[in-house]
A and B are shown apart, each in its own frame.
Chain A
Amino acid sequence: MVTMTDFESQLRARLADAAEGAPAFTGFDPQRAAESSGQWVDSTRSRRSYRWLAVAAAVAVAAAGVSWWSSGRAGNDGGQANDVPQASCAAELVLAGRVYRGYGPLAREPRPGPRLGTANVPTCDDGQGPAGGGQVEVFTLPGINPDVAIFADGLWVSAGEAVLPASLRDLSRPVLCSGAGESTVAGTLTGIEGPPAAEDYHPRTPYTATVVADEGSGLPLDEYSSVTIRIRVTAATARGRDPSLVRAALAEGNRVSVKVRCAGPRFDAISFALAP
């Protein structure tokens, strides 16, 4: 045993907490892995473009009310690959000759401004046949020059922009818990992250639930239409291990209502329920 200074002990605790902010590991596709093994740059490009294409796919199906995040990124499902189409070309929109690229998931979903018009989604062919194409309605973002970024079921940034305005960078800032006492948040459960499930939709605690919340006191919903929060679920959480609830939320898309309290910046779940 060696002694550690208070600073080192606190650093260890803070690193453990900071690590909780990592993305959810949503499984691994061995086929894609074999194809990209040892190719750092290629794998980076493929991975990123894959994510952006998923955003483009969301735009393409937005009219049908389908969410790529809830359908394709349902959290830790025992390592199964998600069903987002795989491709190697980036998600892009073209509006009035200007190319915009998908920015990826946001922690804070902005409220769009006035409608700008209709953008084209270029057809993408990654060697597996053409995909994408079509049109999508786009909107301004309050206070943002449309030449810089626009909104279309997510943030799209002009291909010529190297650094985003501060107000847009803020959209990626994690939402942390604040305030005392209990509160209730409601929204869509988009994933759970933790030990492998005993069987489908039988989660093991403790795990972290990702919820895109559009209701809840203490959340910055005056500024944003929804925020993504990560909630710690333990064995003490009522219905936290209820497979019927998890199935209804993840597979069927039912909204959840979660009673939470703050443990420092972390949301801890007291109880889970399907939202009325």
Chain B
Amino acid sequence: MGGDLGEFFARHGQALLRFAFLLTGGRGDQAEDLVHTVLARLVARGLDDLDDPLSYARRGIVNEHRSLGRHAAVQRRVLPRLAAERDAGQGSAESDDRLTVLEALGALTDRERAVVVLRYYEDLPDPEIAAIVGCSRPTVRSLVHRAVPKLRARLGETYGPSGAVSDRPGRGDGDDD
């Protein structure tokens, strides 16, 4: 079991940290805390009865992140760091698309951010996103439809023509839903 966990951590630890990093709008400390907490739960319960440990871990990170918003004390404790990271992209003349994207993510609600990251970064189909976020597939689509215009409003000027259609494949629902 320990070996399985070790392999899981080695294989997915960095990917989960990147996922959490985007989910938190680029707050590295929070991302590390989220991943650490969820991996701790995996250690406690083991992998034996999990069909998809990676999906379990993603779901745990999403849920923990939402819980974080309800822990005012935690937020107070990390306030200086958050303020620094939230403002990190401001006041600089240099183009910094990475920080601009993270800042734009920070403007979304927790659930909007989760579905955006799961769809456009993790490239997951809507049914899987729904299972991770804990909502219906229509709700996933609704959240995406609310989030994308917000992102477009913040990022549109730095991106190419909006509304044009690309031939790139996307996974969408993964079925006919």
A residues whose Cβ falls under 8 Å from a Cβ of B? 1-12, 14-25, 27-28, 30, 32-34, 36-41, 43-45, 47-48, 51, 76, 78-79, 103-104, 157, 161-164, 166, 168-174, 176, 178, 193-194, 196, 264-265
Contacts and interface: CB of A to CB of B under 8 A. Distances in A.
A196 B11 CA distance: 7
Given A5-B163, A5-B165, A163-B83, 12 more contacts: A8-B120, A12-B121, A18-B105, A20-B98, A21-B26, A25-B9, A33-B36, A43-B40, A44-B37, A44-B74, A47-B32, A174-B99
Interface size, B (range): 35 or more
A265 B97 contact: yes
Interface of B: 2, 5-6, 9-11, 13-14, 16-22, 26, 28-29, 31-33, 35-37, 39-41, 43-44, 64, 67-68, 71, 73-74, 77-81, 83-85, 87-89, 91-92, 94-99, 101-102, 105, 116-117, 120-121, 123, 148, 151-152, 155-156, 159-173
A169 B166 contact: no
A33 B29 contact: no
B43 A176 contact: no
A14 B101 contact: yes
A170 B18 CA distance: 22
A78 B22 contact: no
A51 B33 CA distance: 11
Contact of A11 (B79, B89, B151): B151
B79 A163 contact: yes
